[in-house]
Amino acid sequence: MTEISDQPAAPAPSDLLPVTIEEEMRSSYLAYAMSVIVSRALPDVRDGLKPVHRRILYAMHESGFTHDKPYRKSARAVGEVMGKYHPHGDSSIYEAMVRMAQSWSMRVKLIDGQGNFGSVDGDSPAAMRYTEARLAKASTFLLDDIDRDTVDFQPNYDESENEPTVLPAAFPNLLINGATGIAVGMATNIPTHNPAEVIDATLALIERPEMTLEDLMAYVPGPDFPTGGIILGRSGIRSAYATGRGSIIIRARAEIEEIRKDRKAIIITEIPYQVNKATLQERIADLVRAKQVEGIADIRDESDRSGMRVVIEIKRDATPEVVLNQLYRFTQLQTSFGVNMLALNGGQPQLMGLREVLDAFIAFREDVILRRARFELGKARDRGHILVGLVIAVANIDAVIAIIRGAPDAATAREALMAAQWDAAEVEPLLALIHDEGNVVVEGKVRLTEAQARGILELRLQRLTGLERDKIQQELSEVAVRIGELLAVIGSHARRMEVLAEELGRARAELSTPRATEIADYDGDQDDESLIEPGQMVVTITRDGFIKRTPLDVFRAQNRGGRGRTGAGTRGDDIVVRSFNAHTHQWVMFFSSGGKVYREKVWRLPEAGPAAKGRALVNLLPDLGGDNITAVLPLPQDEELWENLHLAFATASGHVRRNRLSDFRNIRSSGMIAMKLDEGDSLIGVATCREGQDVFLATRGARCIRFQITDETLRVFAGRGSSGVRGIRLAEGDRVISLAVLNHVDATVEERAAYLRMANARRRADNAAEVEDDADTPVIADEDEDTATGAEALSPERFAQLEAAEEVLLIVSDGGFGRRSSAYDYRVSGRGGQGITNMTFSASKRGTEVAATLPVLPGTDVMLVTDAGRLIRVPVDQVRIMSRQASGVTVLRLNDSERVTSVFPVMDDEGEDDAPADDTAAQDGGAQAGEVSDGSPV
């Protein structure tokens, strides 16, 4: 068992001092942080290099791996750097060396590499034992005059060698090649710039030191990245140049090309700086798989030695501009470069703007020129001093030879030459010329210095010839001139600036290249909709749920009775059931058979040609399931109008409901419940309405009803879960097919009847030569028919009032017959009745059901769609106005098994080629099968 001693503990050794853990941690951390900041991560503002880059360039320069020498193995350079100057791993040295050889990383390459030095796809370079390298020509401008005492040197890590603390740097490398680094508590991120622009700005600043930032930006408009791309906006650039911090948006250069018929592709030729091309393509593929970006069919990389080319093939029904905008938003095709111009200035980290960086470089370069001039002045004076001694020796050659011959050894001869006094008459002017104070003239005599004596003893006999003596005099004159120039440089700031400008001009001539990055004006992110060209579209929906949009100008107006053209490609027995025209920037609400509502912009719908089948709605509208789209409502383009609008709903069973449009402003992408439906019921129409207007319902069985929208007749429902109230009482087997909202006109039964009689009389008078198509059509009395045959004629003023407010309805049967009728022919009744007759079917004319009833405007066109996919565009003015019970005239000539499925108005016919009217075609059923009425396709 160990015994515990009562003796006190021994005192601590005298060379140990107590230190608290907090102080030790603080001092150690600060030492580490400053080491990282100064010796690793941050570049020097003077030469724009970090220590590792500086050591690589200097070691290769010392080893003779210059641009005019053969390539050497990279491992040799790495070994020189690691063994002499950089006490770190070879991988970090090689990575830094590789980056200086990559054209996509450096604006001006400093290393000329041969072999695999990686790629813009992020491929790793080959091992250093396989690649070869040498200094690039641009590096000579960084290293020139380093042996002329232009910069300070410091001992290496083991004090066996000396290394430069900075390179002489004849051009602003920090701005031209930029820098990126992360230190302790700080980081730097400096973009690259165009060499010619930066040097031009430096030259301008030398000439006019009072220049403002705006003046400098006239020379340097912004960064210039080696990978090109487009910089969006100038505010970020100006902020970075003014304060040292700013954010610059860089966008890839992309063009939209047609690679083959009806197939376009996005071609990317330039990507933002420091973006990995392979990673970019993987990101795009991930977005396509996640369906976050739709419309991309294929992506492939066709880049080669001639340049970058990434092809993103677009689907036929997609809009390339929208896809490209989404790629800008979700991928690195558009990035933000955060500028942080932090560099070491005087050994201290400093955040600097453009002006500060250029000022620091000019001051440093002036100091280099001054130190070089002083160094060269010393060399020139030393040489002139020797030449003066040679002149003395040549002038007194016999005496010099005698002294040398008489001396037993060289040391004695040197001392004898120094002890002798020589005539100064010939050399005294030379001493003043070269500002030499080494020789002292006393009473016309001069003594030689030790250096001159050594030079005389080393003089070769051939220098004693007359020609050589002249060369000595000539060289002495040249040295004198050079000394004068150097003294001028040393003594004049203006002269140093002239030298700096000359050297910058030589560097510009060698480094100048065209700008690679474009700077474009930018107001902010563009939404997808702003890229869509405004225009009218025809939207077509088939029974099997395929939808597409086609530009309206594809269709041209024909006479009624024409054969039309194929407007929608179908598959199997699929038929077109719904079509309408809308602006590309309009919202469209889709109502499903299950009572759900979806909302989408027209431009987001797939675009396709007239013969294409389109895209399945189940792929466009999520969670549609097995439901069908039974009602589609284009909303007003001006959303301010939504506040005062209501929605009128109608179902096939005759139920109606009224809601505020604002109840449907926020519709989820997955849709939401719009109306509660009874089992077996479905929505057949939804229309915008206002208080006081009339709801008009028409059935397939040729019945219709019209009632006013009031709080008593059809109140506003607060929720979306109601099934509504009865709008019309249907007969067995009948169903509602059309919903329209008409303007309410206060007119008595007698006034309406009188107006119709007077209007018909006027039309007959205007068309006296026209054959009455409905002359043989029987008028069948209806139990609800309003008659006022005995009504008195209206006054001209009242007739004009009713004429201005008149609305006209177009009624088309499934057999292709149709007519227009005045809305005054349909009286306003109460809600929930059986309605009145809408059309009479004649045994001599095809058709047993009403296909559509809709209001139309004079001068407009309508589209008729058949179950065979044919469309015809007909001016409504060519369809005659008849009584409410008439069966109508031929609007579209059908094949035996063909039926009209839908009719919709065309509101804009601007630019269309209107065919001349042909009333004969209307009477005899139009063109024969297989013909087009005007001889050309619609």
User: Quick one: angle between helices 195-207 and 493-511, nearest 10?
Assistant: 160
Q: Which of 52-66, 554-568, 834-848 has the lowest mean pLDDT?
A: 554-568
- Amino acid identity at 45: V
Sequence ranges of the domains in the chain: 49-168, 253-332, 366-509, 532-924
Judged by DSSP in three states, 389 sits in helix
Structure tokens at 380: 């020139």
C-alpha closest to that of 179 among 349, 344, 341: 341
240 band by pLDDT with thresholds 50, 70 and 90: very high
Pairwise CA distance, residues 302 & 798, whole Å: 75
Q: Which residues contact 882 (CB under 8 A, 6 or more apart)?
A: 773, 774, 777, 819, 820, 821, 888
Interval 656-668 mean pLDDT: 84
130 is catalytic: yes
| The dihedral sign for the CA sequence 145, 148, 154, 159 | positive
Pairwise CA distance, residues 68 & 70, whole Å: 7
pLDDT for residue 563: 55
User: Are 888 and 817 within 8 A, CB to CB?
Assistant: yes
> Please, is 805 exposed, middle or buried when counting C-beta atoms within 10 Å of its C-beta (0-12, 13-18, 19+)?
middle
564 band by pLDDT with thresholds 50, 70 and 90: low
Q: Which residues contact 527 (CB under 8 A, 6 or more apart)?
A: 325
Could you give the percent of the chain with pLDDT greater than 90? Answer: 41
Pairwise CA distance, residues 326 & 294, whole Å: 9
Q: pLDDT tens for residues 55-114?
A: 999 999 999 999 999 999 999 999 999 999 998 899 999 999 999 999 999 999 999 999
Q: pLDDT tens for residues 4-38?
A: 555 665 665 667 778 888 887 877 777 777 777 77
| Residue 223: C-alpha distances to residues 198, 231, 249, 350, 515 (Å) | 10, 8, 11, 20, 9
Residue 48, pLDDT > 50, answer yes
Q: Which residues contact 92 (CB under 8 A, 6 or more apart)?
A: 52
Interval 163-171 mean pLDDT: 96
Residue 788, pLDDT > 70, answer no
Interval 808-817 mean pLDDT: 91
Residue 208, pLDDT > 90, answer yes
Interval 242-255 mean pLDDT: 95
Rounded to 5°, angle at Cα 737 from 608 and 606: 15
Structure tokens at 538: 């025809």
Interval 805-815 mean pLDDT: 91
Judged by DSSP in three states, 572 sits in coil
The position carrying tokens 């050309």 is 936
pLDDT for residue 192: 97
Structure tokens at 189: 């991120």
Q: Which of 159-173, 588-602, 699-713 has the lowest mean pLDDT?
A: 588-602
pLDDT for residue 6: 59
Pairwise CA distance, residues 235 & 241, whole Å: 10
| Residue 401: C-alpha distances to residues 393, 404, 472, 617 (Å) | 9, 5, 19, 113
Radius of gyration from C-alpha coordinates of the chain: 47
Class of domain 366-509: mainly alpha
Q: 550 vs 90, which has greater pLDDT?
A: 90
Q: pLDDT tens for residues 337-391?
A: 999 999 999 989 999 999 999 999 999 999 999 999 999 999 998 888 888 888 8
Interval 508-521 mean pLDDT: 94
Pairwise CA distance, residues 274 & 180, whole Å: 11
Structure tokens at 758: 């007077």
Structure tokens at 148: 């002329």
User: Are 694 and 824 within 8 A, CB to CB?
Assistant: no
Interval 458-483 mean pLDDT: 80
pLDDT for residue 327: 94
| Residue 206: C-alpha distances to residues 102, 345, 357, 392 (Å) | 32, 20, 13, 46
In terms of DSSP bridges, do strands 518-520 and 230-232 run parallel, antiparallel, or are they unpaired? parallel
- Amino acid identity at 719: G
User: Are 599 and 589 within 8 A, CB to CB?
Assistant: yes
Q: Where are the beta strands (DSSP E) in 530-663?
A: 536-542, 546-551, 565-566, 576-583, 587-592, 596-601, 615-616, 629-634, 646-651, 655-660
Do 366-509 and 49-168 fall under one CATH topology?
no
pLDDT for residue 911: 36
The position carrying tokens 């005054």 is 824
Residue 185, pLDDT > 60, answer yes
**Is domain 532-924 classified as CATH 2.120.10.90?**
yes
| Residue 537: C-alpha distances to residues 193, 317, 378, 636, 867 (Å) | 47, 14, 85, 15, 21
Assigned CATH topology for domain 253-332? Gyrase A; domain 2 (3.30.1360)
pLDDT for residue 183: 81
pLDDT for residue 94: 96
Residue 853: CA count within 13 A, CB half-sphere:
33
Average predicted confidence (pLDDT) for the chain: 84
Q: 556 vs 143, which has greater pLDDT?
A: 143
Residue 145, pLDDT > 90, answer yes
Q: pLDDT tens for residues 891-922?
A: 988 888 888 888 877 654 333 333 333 333 33
Out of 229-238, 732-741, 880-889, give the one with best mean pLDDT.
Answer: 229-238
Buried b / exposed e along 86-106 (16+ C-beta atoms within 10 A): beeeeeebbebbbbbbbebbb
Q: pLDDT tens for residues 397-443?
A: 888 888 888 888 888 888 888 888 887 777 777 777 777 677 777 77
Pairwise CA distance, residues 723 & 595, whole Å: 10
pLDDT for residue 448: 84
Structure tokens at 623: 């969670």
Structure tokens at 774: 């409905």
Q: pLDDT tens for residues 594-648?
A: 778 888 888 888 887 777 778 888 878 877 777 777 777 788 777 777 777 888 8
Q: pLDDT tens for residues 672-696?
A: 888 888 888 888 888 888 888 999 9
C-alpha closest to that of 307 among 17, 479, 104: 104
Residue 775, pLDDT > 50, answer no
DSSP assignment letter at 639: G
User: Are 151 and 143 within 8 A, CB to CB?
Assistant: no
pLDDT for residue 54: 96
C-alpha closest to that of 355 among 341, 336, 369: 341
Residue 179, pLDDT > 90, answer yes
pLDDT for residue 112: 96
810 band by pLDDT with thresholds 50, 70 and 90: very high
- How many other C-beta atoms are found inside a 10 Å radius of the C-beta of residue 163? 18
| Residue 463: C-alpha distances to residues 383, 395, 448, 833 (Å) | 16, 12, 19, 134
pLDDT for residue 397: 82
Q: pLDDT tens for residues 304-332?
A: 988 999 999 999 878 888 899 999 999 99
C-alpha closest to that of 96 among 162, 41, 173, 166: 41
Interval 245-270 mean pLDDT: 92
User: Are 831 and 726 within 8 A, CB to CB?
Assistant: yes
Pairwise CA distance, residues 448 & 385, whole Å: 10
pLDDT for residue 191: 96
928 band by pLDDT with thresholds 50, 70 and 90: very low
In terms of DSSP bridges, do strands 646-651 and 703-708 run parallel, antiparallel, or are they unpaired? unpaired
Q: Where are the beta strands (DSSP E) in 78-226?
A: 111-114, 132-135, 153-155, 162-164, 179-182, 187-190
Residue 651, pLDDT > 70, answer yes
* DSSP string computed for 710-744: -TTTSPBPSSS----EE--PPPTT--EEEEEEE--
Catalytic residue among 29, 32, 130, 157, which?
Answer: 130
pLDDT for residue 721: 74
Three-state secondary structure string covering 399-463: HHHHHHHHCCCHHHHHHHHHHCCEECCCCHHHHHHCCCCCCCEECCEECCCHHHHHHHHCCCHHH
Rounded to 5°, angle at Cα 747 from 743 and 752: 100
**Is domain 49-168 classified as CATH 3.30.1600.10?**
no
Number of residues written out for the chain: 938
User: Are 588 and 523 within 8 A, CB to CB?
Assistant: no
pLDDT for residue 934: 30
Interval 275-290 mean pLDDT: 94
Could you give the percent of the chain with pLDDT greater than 70? Answer: 87
pLDDT for residue 430: 74
